[in-house]
Amino acid sequence: MLIDSPYLVTPGKKFRLDDYETDETGPFKDREEAAGPTEKNLKKLSKLQEVLYAQSKYAVLIVFQAMDAGGKDGAIEHIFSGINPQGCSVASFKAPSHLELSHDYLWRYHMACPQKGMIGIFNRSHYESVLVERVKGIAPKKVWSQRYEQINQFEAMLAAENVVTLKFYLHISKEEQAERLQARLDNPEKNWKFDPGDLVERKRWDDYMDAFEDALGNCSTADAPWYAIPSNRKWFRNWAISDIIVRTLKKLPLEYPKAVEDLKKYKVE
């Protein structure tokens, strides 16, 4: 389900990350100006989720991908802070376990997909199979190059089963990543977030940008669009993502289930 947005990766067109700004602020001049519209979006999301949960006809899968320190955790925490936890699930994908490796590469992601009525959030996702596995050489080109179409077919199947998929790439600059990683070193309360391996991955920045361009360009479809969200400014990131989610949910034919017949004849004693 496509939503008109300057951050949509248009299906079927060549995609280049250089065409997308990382520090854009859209219609807002500063954080204060965006605060009100963002809060309105979060309230709307809470109400829409209530109907989604009650109707239990559709599921929503929201995918977050980014470079290290890109803001996935922060976006999830802020945007979904007001929704009913009973109607939401979050899956964070680390290195696959022995059991997961014994299955096909999509198995663990399919197992985590949301059931009808739920919003499911993927912190990293099946796209790791064409990002990390590509850049680190875990999977050879003849393997990962076939996965774009396999992923498209997987997401098309989900769409046919009333799963609405939205995918967000949190687009930060290399300079912004450096500042965020340094903050994890400098602030004792953020030390726990620092992983020396992030510095190793940072050296592969250009390789990751190439991998992201191919992943977003090949796998942004009408069934499961990608949005490249300017994310240097966290407050704008939160507005842009919440705006797209709310507008997508509004396009769904959501309605509360009908009450039992002759409701007026019932009385609570």
pLDDT in tens, 27-36: 999 999 999 9
DSSP single-letter state for residue 45: H
Global model pTM greater than 0.85: yes
| Cα three-residue angle 146-4-82, rounded to 5 degrees | 90
Domains by residue range for the chain, with CATH: 17-253 (3.40.50.300)
pLDDT band at 267 (very low <50, low <70, confident <90, very high): confident
pLDDT for res 265: 81
What's at 185, amino acid-wise? Answer: L
Strand partners, 62: 121, 166
Kindly compute the dihedral angle of the four CA atoms of residues 49, 52, 56, 57, in this order, to the nearest 10 degrees. Answer: -140
Angle of helix 72-79 versus helix 234-251 axis, rounded to 10: 60
Query: For the segment 61-103, what is each residue's pLDDT rounded down to a tens digit?
Result: 999 999 999 999 999 999 999 999 999 999 999 889 999 999 9
CA 127 → CA 48, 109, 147, 169, distances in Å? 28, 10, 9, 11
Query: For the segment 133-185, what is each residue's pLDDT rounded down to a tens digit?
Result: 999 999 999 999 999 999 999 999 999 999 999 999 999 999 999 999 999 99
Strand partners, 65: 169
